[in-house]
Structure 1
Amino acid sequence: MGIMEPRVMLPNIAVVEEGLGMRDWTFFSNVYHGPLCRIMIGWNSNMLEVTILSSGGQWVTCDITRKDGGQLVRVTFVYGSSTSVERQELWHYLKYQKSVNDSVPWLVTGDFNAIMRVTDRQGGDSNWYRHMEDFPNCVHESELIHLAAEGHHFTWHNRQQGTASILRKLDWAFGNQHLIRLWPQAKATFQARIDSDHSPIHITLSPKPPYQRARFKFLNLWADQDGYEETVRAAWGTEAHGNPFSRLTSKLRTLKGHLSNFHKRNSSHISSRVAQAEKKWKEAQDFLDQHPQDLEAGQWERDMGNQYSALRKAEESFYKQRSRVNWLQLGDRNTSFFHRSLLHRRHRNGITSLCRDTGEVTRNPEDIDPY
């Protein structure tokens, strides 16, 4: 649990923690970074093991694991400063943490005191100032992905009425690629404001749904691979009976099977193939470096280099098509960008629950996707 802006002075911290009445809970705060506590976190010490990694005036980062086992999660609780100049420290910290946390699931959540776009505000000053670009730029450079959200969009209200009313989305929940891969159904629920002018955030890390066989999709990269035309001719040359439409659908089904087998032989697990090709190319380069006069070593190095280049091109084409990003023209080898876009798109479009006609909400993957 994270509490933002409790505004408690150091001499009163112990009294406040005791007053919460949460037995077996341990608390930590960033009160030593300023005159008032801005972030307080707490956890049930019988269930969780929490290690504080870093704290500042605008953040607390910790590692969380269940005592009965399970995956470690790194969480950064955020309370952004009210001034854009002071928030620069927060933006620099998050961008630096991107590389530090690449190999662990990283959740970033809290009150950032900043909006991402014009639609995140209603009322008040309508100008878009240059410093307002800092937050979206930070999220982009940190490669953070919005958690799927439900509930309120505007998470802060100034409690005024009429023309004086101001609404803002200041509270956010993000995850890095590692977290989304482990918990693709992770979700943030922004609840109704009760005793605060901010919406509470309830975050759930749902387990992966059971494996479902992927539906057939034509990949553009197949058309550039050796053997593609022969595969299509072989499938289309099979005998089919019935009326013209029946023969067409029959041949399309046959072609689907041939292309699926073609994919298994040539382009399945494309990223693993790229990694293996890169390893072989490096081995060939090392061998050539030790035997510079060996003509076969030179030919092996060229062959491995060409194979690696072709697979890299196929990998980029695969992720570009699946991410549905067609406008990027930054240069060659944008594979990592397309991969992040695909991950974000899958997470954004994922359906985690359905409401039946009776009003019952189901989160059973089999009920959501019965096919």
Structure 2
Amino acid sequence: MTNIILWNCRGANKPNFRRSIRYILKKYPTDVLAVFETHAGGDRAQRICHGLGFDSSFRVDAAGQSGGLWLLWRSNVGEVEIMSSSDQFIHARVKQGVECFHLVVVYAAPTVSRRSGLWASLKAVVTSIDGPLMIGGDFNTIVRIDERVGGNGHLSPDSLAFGEWINELELIDMGFRGPQFTWRRGRVQRTYVAKRLDRVLCCAHTRLKWQEARVSHLPFLSSDHTPLYVQMSPGVEGNSKRRPFRFEAAWLQHPGFKELLLNSWNGELRTPDALYGLRFTLKKWNREVFGDIQRRKEAFMEEIKDIQDKLDISQTDAMLEREAFLIKELEVVLEQEEVLWFQKAREKWITLGDRNTKYFHTSTIIK
């Protein structure tokens, strides 16, 4: 197991969630995905899970519009066996050859009364495990006063019980990189509250086995919770090789492409020489004009991350309004990108029609 994402998505049936999670999965390589508070079940939940591109999944469906936990994984992580589950956690055992690893993903109910028996249930799970263990998700409570901003500034009895539970089981907080808080509420400074409700814990065996493992708090997107990105064996990213030049059929959809060709084509040269010169013009145009969706998307993400880092320190109405605007604009860009890839994936169908051939059936399965 290499990379895991844990996220309280606050509704997996929302279009903005699906766009956000596709973007996250593309940007952050993920072997295991756990989503909480999905607000979905039955056939709808199955369709959404299938569309996320994982090989296997296990669901605890929502009760109406409340709760819901999904665990999805790729086949490369090994043999995954669901050991136990409830409406607040899933315990999975991952086996790779002779090695075994236990993963417990948690969505603690938002009210103290509903999660009153959770710590005892999880204690029974944790004490029954012999070997590496990781337990993480949305625990819906904090451990220390500095894990919140706003509110009354006191630890509740439930928070104290949670801290005692961690100490009793000798679990280790894996820490984090990125923004301090994982949940926020309030769009103006007067009502702003933020807490670290989501975290990843592990046993000593796990911490020693994966000493370089790290947890990153990703930016807030379509939920009031931030995704947690766990890298068990983070590697050093290398520079990707330069891609060879290829004509993109999607360029034909751009309103300025025809004019670019007319202005750039040198009719005095032989066709091979003219095409060779046109290649450099097209590469520059693709990078500076057609490729602006990708650049805008990354620019929005960088600014969202920057403003959320500042919100950890202090909050103003202007910053909160700016963040809301940026997230809304990012969702528009993600939707534009989705439409672009939709057109590119079906460009042959648009040209050639819906022919019942083996080629088109195979292309559909691959896509």
- 2:103 maps to what in 1? 75
> Structure 1 residue 110 and structure 2 residue 137: aligned?
yes
Partner of 1:96: 124
Structure 1 residue aligned with 2:61: 31
**Match status 1:2 vs 2:34:** yes
Per the alignment, do residues 205 and 8 of structure 1 end up closer, same or farther by CA in structure 2, a change over 3 Å counting?
same
Runs (4+) of structure 1 exceeding 4 A deviation are 32-37
* Amino acid paired to 2:183: W
Alignment of 1:126-275 (within 5 A): 126-206=153-233
Q: Secondary structure at the match of 2:176?
A: strand
SS in 2 for 1:151: coil
**Cα distance in 2 between the residues matched to 1:189 and 1:94:** 24
Aligned to 2:114, the other structure's residue is in SS state helix
Unaligned runs of 5+ in 1: 209-371
Q: CA separation in 1, counterparts of 2:65 and 2:220?
A: 27
8 Å contact from structure 2 (residues 38, 68) kept in 1: yes
8 Å CA contact 2:137–2:198 kept in 1: the answer is yes
Amino acid at match of 2:194: L
- What do residues 168-217 of structure 1 show as CA deviations (whole Å, max 9, x unaligned)? 10000010111112112221111111121111111111389xxxxxxxxx
Distance in 1 between residues matched to 2:164 and 2:43, nearest whole Å: 38
Q: Measure how far apart 1:23 and its partner are.
A: 3.7
Q: Does 1:84 align with 2:112?
A: yes
In structure 2, the residue matched to 1:14 is 46
Name the structure 2 match of 1:215.
Answer: none
* Corresponding pairs, count: 203
Question: RMSD value over aligned CA atoms?
Answer: 2.3
Q: CA deviation at 1:34?
A: 7.6
Q: Which letter does structure 2 place at the counterpart of 1:184? A: Q
Corresponding residue number in structure 2 for 1:63: 93
Measured after TM superposition, the shift of residue 94 of structure 1 is 2.2
Q: In the TM superposition, what whole-angstrom CA distance separates every residue of 1:113-147 from its partner, at most 9, and x where no partner exists? A: 00001111111233333232111011111111011
Higher alpha-carbon Rg: 1
Q: Does the 8 Å CA contact 1:94/1:142 hold for their aligned counterparts? A: no
TM-score normalised by structure 2 residue count: 0.51
Query: Which range moves more in the overlay, 30-39 or 56-65?
Result: 30-39
Percent of pairs with identical residues: 26
